[in-house]
Amino acid sequence: MNLRKSLMAVIALTALAGCDRKEAARPAAPAQQEARATAGTIVAVGDSLTAGYGLDEHDAYPAQLERRLQETGHPWRVVNAGISGETSSGALSRVNWVLTLKPDIVILVTGANDGLRGIDPKVTEKNIDEMVRTLKERNVTVVLGGMKMVANLGRDYTRAFAAVYPAVAKRHDLILVPFFLKGVAGRPELNQADGIHPTAEGYRIVSDTVLPYVIKAIEQTPPSGG
């Protein structure tokens, strides 16, 4: 990685780590969503990459994913439960709140902020493992989104971090999205000025990446009728 790319990576990572938690939880179930008949509820849990930091909620990936599901004949509601700046510990602390949303499926994309803070990947893995265990005990189907860290954090750390997601997925027999930001990470034209949060077009690609894994989860999950 040359000096310019290294500087851009540091700036981008700082931006993600410092995202204002005021973005916080999105409305759990907008009235227009409640009014529409749905086959079930998908809750997208994560940090600013789920919340859609810097964009209208309409352009964040959960909203775009819901539209794509509708287009493909899957009338499922997708709730945006992303909180900017959240670590995996924060996500674990609110897993019981997530359950109050009565999800049939949870898309879990967390841990990026752990990496930016240099948190031991073993801690991240333990937190994600506990969240998954709690969700599965309530018969919630979990789709786990894999994340990666930039190379300038060190080879050993980035390898250990990336290994967390397939390890948890294998342990719990989960549907794994190998890399949530595939085709988007590192492409300036698909990210906002901070270099790490996707634009609306970037999130379109993210939603297309996630879509087949979510459809697989739907096929494994009995419809709840919303």
State the catalytic residues. 48, 194, 197
Q: Would you give the DSSP letter of residue 47?
A: S
Amino acid, single-letter form, for residue 58: H
Query: Which pair of structure tokens corresponds to residue 94?
Result: 């609110």
CA–CA distance, 29 with 125 (Å, rounded to integer): 30
Q: How far is the CA of 40 from the CAs of 51, 87, 93, 221, in angstroms?
A: 21, 27, 24, 9
Query: Which pair of structure tokens corresponds to residue 101?
Result: 């949303």
Beta bridge partners of 44: 80, 107
Phi, psi of 75 (to 5 degrees): -80, 65
Axis-axis angle for helices 155-172, 121-137 (nearest 10) = 20
Residue 133, helix vs strand vs coil: helix
